[in-house]
Amino acid sequence: MDAAELDRLVEQIGEEILARAGRRAALPPDAEGLNIPDLVCPGCTQRCPQTCERKAKEIVKAGACRLSASDKLTGIDPAIASLIDHTLLRPEATRDDIVKVCREARKYGFASVCINPYWVPVVAAELAGSPVKVCTVIGFPLGATSTEAKVAETEAALRVGAQEIDMVQNVGALRSGDQDAVKSDIAAVVEVAHRAGAIVKVILETALLDDNQKVMASMLAKMAGADFVKTSTGFGPSGASAHDVELMRMAVGPEMGVKASGGIRTLDDVKKMAAAGASRIGASASVKIVEATTGKEQPVTSGY
């Protein structure tokens, strides 16, 4: 379709709308979109991409690379979707699984896709041109590798497209009272990441810490220059709790991010964590969570 044909199509749609405008009262009360034969946009609820496949295809053929469908089409709450790091960290995840979560992230507008470092190049390619960030994990899931190994792993991930780094703190060092080692471990990763324009989230693995240790770990992460503290890997004894998120938020104050992760599977879970102070959510049940804002929930599959 050339430009002249597209102009005629737009003119035709406009004429049809005007011609039908005086007849809306005669339409069924549930009429919407373009799903009524021979009628264009009676009672329009902005569902054209869903209900008029022919015109959508003609517009794409003319050169459009994307069609706009407002929240009246999807019903997804963008404020919820934009909180979520769509996560797939299962060791058995395949390339097809990874591509699927990338497509879901683009569709729903999640904050990032969080995957193991091996998959960073695939995710970077899949998310190219999208606002969804590429997130990966470092020193995962134990946090007990050397600082040098964490720095090397971070540098390698950044080279192939990582934009957010979720590193596991040295839990054993923290529990041993070696605060300098914990802080310097984080600071080394932060330096490398920030130099490349990436942000760092420090995973505390709160299930292994008492409340004093959670507060200390949060403060050390802040002192080391990290951007977020994060509750859990999803591989520990338990995941996020509102109590832990509250403690972490109190420790780091309002200017630093707090990410709740591990065991978050429902919209209610997200709301509880956000109310406790979380500014980011890590979840593998992301699609189910956002579909809950529309009343069309999907089955849950674990990403851990």
**Domain limits, the chain:** 3-73, 75-291
- pLDDT tens digit string along 179-238? 999 999 999 999 999 999 999 999 999 999 999 999 999 999 999 999 999 999 999 999
* Cα–Cα distance for residue pair 131/146, rounded to 1 Å: 33
* Spatial contact of 189 and 200, defined as CB atoms under 8 Å apart: yes
- Per-residue model confidence (pLDDT) at position 298: 46
pLDDT at position 16 over 60: no
Which of 3-17, 155-169, 197-211, 280-294 has the lowest average pLDDT?
Answer: 3-17
Residues involved in catalysis: 166, 230, 259
pLDDT at position 96 over 90: yes
- Per-residue model confidence (pLDDT) at position 1: 56
Residue range 75-291 forms a domain whose CATH class is alpha beta
* Spatial contact of 278 and 88, defined as CB atoms under 8 Å apart: no
pLDDT at position 98 over 60: yes
Helices of type H across the chain: 3-21, 48-51, 53-61, 71-74, 78-81, 95-108, 120-126, 147-159, 171-175, 179-195, 211-223, 242-252, 267-276, 286-291
Give this prediction's pTM: 0.73
- Per-residue model confidence (pLDDT) at position 38: 41
